[in-house]
Amino acid sequence: MKAIVYSSTGGSDVLEFVDRPVPQPGPGAVRVRVEVSGVNHSDWKAREFGHRGGALMYPEVVPHHDGGGVIDAVGDGVDPSRVGQRVWVWEAAYKRPHGTAAEYTIVPSGNAVPLPDGLSFDVGASLGLRAVAAHRCLLAGQNGPSRLGPGALAGCTVLVAGGAGGVGQAAIQLATWSGAFVIATVSSAEKAKLALAAGAAHTVDYRSDTVVSDIRALAPGGVDLIVEAASTVNIDIDMEILAPLGTVASYGTEGTNELTFPTRLAIGRNLRFQFVMVMTMPTADKDLASADITAAAAAGAITVGEQAGLPLHRFPLHRTGEAHDAVQAGIVGKVLVDIGASTP
């Protein structure tokens, strides 16, 4: 099979386009013939910095967690009827050497989630980590629902920081589907258009000197839940706009490594801070996220493309290095790798 691999940390030049044997699924696992692979920030970071201490967990790694494809083989303990099933794949490269930047990948059966009829592999490859992170953030609010769905967030004001980003776009779509009033912060008119296309009711320029008053004008009683991409940078703004019993759900690491906030104010308002790392979430929460995200996608609530606020950028497999560079450079939208276009 054609695959992208790396055997040392470094820049995108460590990625190699190679031929490898087709892997075989073990007990509880499935093999997926990958059609489209999705690229996340975690993919280039893992390639550049490795695991803790800078080492790789395996002598050779096939990158990428997310993808869309078809199950073509199953291991012991997996229902054989799953062969031929269209699926969206996520967390493929977490503690495993076989990511989705290859013609075939091996994942636990639960990480190959049935893709609803009528949805493209582009949608499937664009769900994964970003949608699971968004889902986890949206369930972090105090006295909030136990799962997402129509009406689940009715009466809740949600602020999505970085509404034109990948997680931000998914958070807007999932929150809107669940009935929330959604405000998104952005840094340009172009990004405002994308956040509005995703379903935000309003956008605010977070670089403006009046960002706090602009948000307060839209949410006089304060914001109930903030889906935060950069808590260390935005903490002062967040503290000014949170309603009593409000929550900051932070999934990003932008800015410094230390978060400082006024504890007296936080205690006085009974505020909550929830930090989100998808890979280390409990299994039950991951399963719940998979189910809710699939339901939202089936209902047409999660879509991709510029008209949905998430422009797509495509690369063939042998140009995966360029795909990584685009994500690292902060390209707006979702970067996809077409596995079928694997021959240079």
Q: What confidence tens digit (pLDDT) does each residue in 77-105 have?
A: 999 999 999 999 999 999 999 999 999 99
Of 246 and 54, the structure prediction assigns the larger pLDDT to 246
Instruction: Give pLDDT tens digits for 279-313.
Output: 999 999 999 999 999 999 999 999 999 999 999 99
- Classify 2-126+310-338 by CATH class: alpha beta
User: In this predicted structure, what is the pLDDT of residue 54?
Assistant: 77
Three-state SS for 248? strand
In the chain, domain spans = 2-126+310-338, 131-279
CB 244 within 8 A of CB 267: no
Q: What is the pTM of this model?
A: 0.96
Orientation angle between helical segments 41-49 and 320-328, nearest 10 degrees: 100
Which tens digit of pLDDT belongs to each residue from 205-221?
A: 999 999 999 999 999 99
- Taking each continuous run of H as one helix and of E as one strand, the counts in the chain are 10, 15
Q: What's the length of the chain? A: 344
How far is it, in rounded angstroms, from Cα 28 to Cα 75? 6
Q: What mean pLDDT, rounded, does the chain reach?
A: 96
Residue corresponding to tokens 């189910």: 291
Query: Which secondary structure element, helix H or strand E, spans residue 86, and what is its range?
Result: strand 86-89
> In the predicted model, is pLDDT for residue 341 greater than 60?
no
Q: At 325, is the pLDDT very low, low, confident or very high (cuts 50, 70, 90)?
A: very high
pLDDT of residue 344: 56
Per-residue pLDDT at 253: 74
Fold (CATH) for 131-279 = Rossmann fold (3.40.50)
Contact between residue 80 and residue 43 where contact means Cβ atoms under 8 Å apart: no
* φ, ψ at 216 (rounded to 5°): -60, -30
Identify the H or E element spanning 185.
strand 181-186
